[in-house]
Amino acid sequence: MKIQIYTDGSCHTQYKMGAWVAILFIHSTKKILSGVVSDTTHHRMELTAVIKAIDYLFANYTDINHVEFFSDSQYVIDLPKRQKKLEASSFTTKKGNELQNTDLIKQLLTHFAACNIQFVKIKAHQKKNGKNDANIEADILSRKMVRDAVFHLLETTPNK
């Protein structure tokens, strides 16, 4: 079974409030997964969207043979190309510090071994054209979720 997934993540850097969205097309069914996370970053949300989508597939489908991810995140798209280098460096920088997001990167790389995953880079913030409308939908939804979460935070936290 071949599955197409559009992912996006968003983050309010000042409040470290983020959201992720994955829109899955399985057969003729559209499924939207999403979540809000506090104390996070934009890159963590981009990675989380992909991981949550794969986790959902593994939990609900046994006949997956190909997953095609569409993302505007160069950070996520380039992970397969950087896998050997990351593993060779033990996920550390030249200065010996652990890379940011190592926990999520390792989790995603483990998923690569379990399923044939292909990433397709798409341009961010496009106008609707019928081709990548699901990416636009994921972007709009993730940004709205962040705005709503920050609004809720500001309303419930004194002196913000």
Task: State the number of CA atoms in the 13 A half-sphere of 123 facing the CB.
Answer: 6
Question: pLDDT band at 16, cuts 50/70/90?
Answer: very high
pLDDT above 90 covers a percentage of the chain that reads: 72
pLDDT above 70 covers a percentage of the chain that reads: 93
Q: What is the mean pLDDT of residues 125-147?
A: 82
The model's pTM: 0.91
Maximum Cα–Cα distance across the chain: 52
Q: What is the mean pLDDT of residues 63-86?
A: 91
The one-letter code for the residue type at 44 is R
Question: pLDDT band at 27, cuts 50/70/90?
Answer: confident
Instruction: Please tell me the predicted confidence (pLDDT) of residue 56.
Output: 96
Q: What is the mean pLDDT of residues 10-20?
A: 96
Q: What is the mean pLDDT of residues 133-144?
A: 92
What's the rounded Cα separation, in Å, for the pair 72 and 52?
17
Name the CA dihedral angle for 35, 36, 39, 43, rounded to a multiple of 10 degrees: 50
The one-letter code for the residue type at 34 is S
Instruction: Please tell me the predicted confidence (pLDDT) of residue 151.
Output: 93
Of 19, 14, 43, the residue nearest 32 (C-alpha): 19
Instruction: Please tell me the predicted confidence (pLDDT) of residue 127.
Output: 63
Structure token pair of residue 137: 């939908």
Question: pLDDT band at 91, cuts 50/70/90?
Answer: very high
Question: pLDDT band at 81, cuts 50/70/90?
Answer: very high
Q: What is the DSSP string of 90-115?
A: TTB-TTSPBPTTHHHHHHHHHHHHHS
Q: What is the mean pLDDT of residues 78-94?
A: 92
Q: What is the mean pLDDT of residues 57-67?
A: 88
